[in-house]
Amino acid sequence: MKCRCGRDAIIFRPYEGVALCSRHFLKSFEKRVFKTIRKHGMLKSGDRVAVAISGGADSQVLLELLNKIISPRHDMEIFALAVDEGIEGYRSKTLKYAKALTEEKGIELHLFSFKELLGKTLDEKVREVGRDQACLYCSIGRRWILNRAARELGATKLATGHNLNDEAETILMNWIRGDLFRAARYGAITDWAITQTKSQLFIPRIKPLRESPESECTLYARLKGFRFSRRICPYKGGIRREIWRFLKRFESRHPGISFSILHTFDKLLPLIRQYAEEREGPLVTCRKCGELSSEPVCRRCQLWP
């Protein structure tokens, strides 16, 4: 299989019918990410961007590309945030790769932990509530820590490494659950809470990799020589895992279906947000921690009292 330039191809994109060599793949991948950033207006002059990095392939690719844009400029800043959930035998290994990359790039890294900010590690919490609740408690805790840390460190944007597969999974999960209120908070830039309340408590999140398939993010990381862990979180499971398997099978039979799910969602998002605004009460500040919430006591404080 050959690239259009005549070199040996390293990847075939079934959703485009195109084979690419390493040089043209790297160029094409970066072009798509930069186009996503421009299309959605993710970055602007004066931004101080916090990049959530775990040490996995996606977050390292995200840091590499945002640094490529921001480091030559004098009107933007970049730094990295990492969260140690306290998953024995898993997170400590991925964090060492995050530390290595930020040191290599000369990017400031700030590390926070569940134990320090929530009082318990995820392992300790799971022993109380059961493994089937791990993803819920983890996601709520991580979001709370990342938003608070980004704000306190002066960030104007919080960049996360959600790829195309992650986005398609989340969209389907919300459809299955019928949770339009949660769906209203998603998108290329998650700033709905700000437009609702004009509050500065919530830091807008951007997802530059949302149109990049997971397999291509991994290939880019390998070609760039990044060291990363391929281990899956030991707590990953439940409905998201089932949706992941379903999408993987469906994508193999109908290439491009994940792109279709994402683009259809983006077209419907204004209507979803209008529906949610008409039916959901205004956001308030949590009476315990002071963060934005749709309830008097936020989910973080309910789950991590």
Amino acid occupying residue 192: W
Residue 118: CB partners within 8 Å, gap ≥ 6? 141, 145, 300, 304
CA–CA gap between residue 93 and residue 175 (Å, rounded):
34
pLDDT < 70 stretches in the chain: 193-197
Residue 101: CB partners within 8 Å, gap ≥ 6? 53, 55, 60, 63, 64, 107, 226
Q: Which of 104, 49, 108 is nearest to 76 (CA)?
A: 49
Output the CA–CA distances (angstroms, integers) from residue 124 to 84, 140, 141, in the order listed. Answer: 13, 16, 13
CB 135 within 8 A of CB 240: yes
Q: Six-digit token pair at 143?
A: 């979001």
Residue 82: CB partners within 8 Å, gap ≥ 6? 52, 53, 54, 55, 95, 98, 99, 109, 110, 111, 112
User: Domains in the chain, start-ordered, CATH in brackets?
Assistant: 29-303 (3.40.50.620)
Angle between helices 57-70 and 22-39 (to 10 degrees): 70
pLDDT value at residue 197:
65
Output the CA–CA distances (angstroms, integers) from residue 265 to 37, 211, 248, 271, 295, in the order listed. Answer: 18, 13, 19, 10, 26
CA–CA gap between residue 178 and residue 130 (Å, rounded):
25
Output the CA–CA distances (angstroms, integers) from residue 17 to 64, 105, 247, 256, in the order listed. Answer: 28, 35, 20, 11
pLDDT value at residue 229:
83
pLDDT value at residue 281:
74
CB 159 within 8 A of CB 66: yes
Q: Is 56 exposed, middle or buried (0-12, 13-18, 19+ CB in 10 A)?
A: buried
Q: Six-digit token pair at 276?
A: 């949610």
3-state secondary structure of 197: helix
Q: Six-digit token pair at 189?
A: 């830039």
CB 210 within 8 A of CB 163: yes
What are the start-end ranges of the H helices in 108-229? 114-118, 122-129, 134-152, 164-177, 180-183, 192-197, 214-223
pLDDT value at residue 200:
86
Give pTM, 2 decimals.
0.95
Q: Which of 267, 226, 297 is nearest to 54 (CA)?
A: 226
pLDDT value at residue 276:
85
Q: What is the DSSP letter of 7?
A: S
pLDDT value at residue 195:
63
β partners of residue 78: 49
